[in-house]
Chain A
């Protein structure tokens, strides 16, 4: 066996040990990810949407300041976005209550 083969063998053994250890060692019992909770998923999605709607309101205000929308459209769009934000907040509140209740139990 020459030096090259020895290096190759050492490399192979090292790799096998590195990837094999987790399979045979003592591992924490926790699973990789918690089972998908639809309420949690919806909550996460709504949090992002809430941010987007708030950013959209900011953008609308900027568009209003830079004269891209008329007064009528501004108030109409703002009302629409605020309404959307309200709905999102209500749903988030509802999910939060349910989530906390479940967490307690």
Chain B
């Protein structure tokens, strides 16, 4: 099976190269025979990569330690769940997984566009296959997952214990679905540039791909934060680690693109900007991969064998050169004839939103690459820590939060001051009320607390604007269509899914902001060495260390479990069981935290260490509002679902357009 897997990868490389050449020849020579031959490639390609993936998965599940990859990332005692996740736990497997997603996406793109967009699709397929070819070259010649050990060992080294967490099983595939998903809008943007088809049809074609990929990227970041929170055992969820930044930056650019693209759809302007943003999003995803696999930056997230940096750097260079070259050569075609109607309009608020998002992205990028630059220029690696990011990004983030509230109040095209004042009044009053109400209760002793206070006030302001938007829309619809209130609300959201889905996403973002503000400024923590029966008080809670137990789970894993009773006002509210896990062959034990999560706060316990007399060092964190962040993620998921739900009206409009076009010009071309 391993031989077949390796062979399938070789065939995949050959077919993807054939696909690139044939699609180009079909498009340039306008030849249907070549196109018919090329259109078999997505099927063959995905089948080959599926076979290779199945072969590697079989090796992992069957403990085939003759494969170097299986030996390095699995062992006999590993749970089946984690054996599956070992597939993307190492460098080689993760590249195969990336390629698997890419080929499956390519197949879906092909099936979706089989009988339409004949001019653009061949070029988009060329771009997709060229990217696939790059990954297949790596898999065949540099990081072959089917590398064989001549004398197979009895057992494997096992998966890094830090990766043996369910969030780590979900987080990488989610992030990859987002990363790889952005290849599709990128491919169509490049195709539009190549064949000079620069109206907004490529945007319409890839709208759902963009939204879904954005959603996966967003959830991937949140799942990663949850993993860091539960597995790294330092009480936090985000540390501005270079690899966290690498996943965060494409999300920022993609968010900017999602907003600015609406201006192109509505006003047929900002073509260069949108094109640049979609290309930059893809470049950022490759930059993120470069960071993870270059070995240039130290992080808990980087791969052990970080040797692929130069391949990705070269790939990045080629992509940037082609993108810039294409945009510059098509500049006259990308110029728009329309202008902003007014400075005071939804469009300009989107422009500000873009500037702020790119500002955060640039600051994050600068902080991420600064250690590399400082080492190259001065020979000293200067690491940029959270204070830099917080100092720069928090104020910009607050301005962004304010804009989320301001945007919906402003009309498209041109807003009026008097109406704006009227519409601002209620949200502003709500914000001021919140400011007054919170002032006596929230400490304002340092910059972080002041920022958190402002965040809460802004959250109230934004939530009020969004709720008013829903209310006003419902009332307007009710009066126009003589519907009941709930019916009017339902049909309001149903008829304008993208608008109201977007507002729901904004509610999720507000929850995330509130959660971050609460957890960053008002938490408390302590660390104490305790004997059995001793207690420590943090905020309103008393934590009593009760006992220490040991469980030998299997031949490779032993667990030390501390029991901590938690009391509030003399009443027992929870029994926490933080653990220390010891893995055979691993030098460092791994902490397994225990968390009681409620909407108010998380009680977070870490067993830092223990001695033979059963005394233990327990770290206790009381982190307020952390669950709001995760809740925000699910609200974003719901909002995205509303936004991407198929719009029959739009489909009908498309068919109507084609019908009219066919009547006038035949055949109709999309």
Contact = CB atoms under 8 A, between A and B. Distances in A.
B44 A19 contact: yes
Given A68-B423, A69-B416, A96-B664, A27 B476 contact: no
B27 interface: yes
B128 to A, nearest CB: 17
A44 B661 contact: yes
B411 A39 contact: no
A37 B661 CA distance: 12
* Interface size classification for chain A: 35 or more
Interface stretch (B34-42, B446-454, B588-596): B34-42
B35 to A, nearest CB: 5
B191 to A, nearest CB: 13
A89 interface: no
Interface in A41-83: 41, 43-45, 47-49, 51-52, 55-56, 59-60, 62-63, 65-70, 72-73, 76-77, 80
B268 A52 contact: yes
A36 interface: yes
B132 interface: no
Contacts of B669: 33-34, 40, 44
Contact of B472 (A32, A66, A70): A66
Interface stretch (B3-11, B367-375, B618-626): B3-11
B422 A67 contact: yes
- At the interface, is chain A mostly helix, strand, loop or mixed? helix
B667 A22 contact: no
A43 B658 CA distance: 11
A18 interface: yes
B266 A7 contact: no
A72 B199 CA distance: 33
A15 B11 contact: yes
Contacts of A65: 476, 479-480
A44 B667 contact: no
A19 to B, nearest CB: 5
Given A8-B7, A31-B30, A66-B476, A56 B40 contact: no
Nearest to B422: A67
A97 to B, nearest CB: 9
A4 interface: yes
A30 interface: yes
Interface string B34-70: 1111101100100000000000000000000000000
Interface of A: 4, 7-8, 11-12, 15, 18-23, 27-28, 30-37, 39-41, 43-45, 47-49, 51-52, 55-56, 59-60, 62-63, 65-70, 72-73, 76-77, 80, 95-96, 99-100, 103
Interface of B: 3-4, 7-8, 11, 15, 18, 26-27, 30-38, 40-41, 44, 118-119, 122, 199-201, 265-266, 268, 341, 409-416, 418-420, 422-423, 469, 472-473, 476, 479-480, 653, 657, 660-661, 664-667, 669-670
A-B pairs, 6 with minimum CB distance? A22-B36, A99-B664, A70-B416, A68-B411, A33-B118, A65-B476
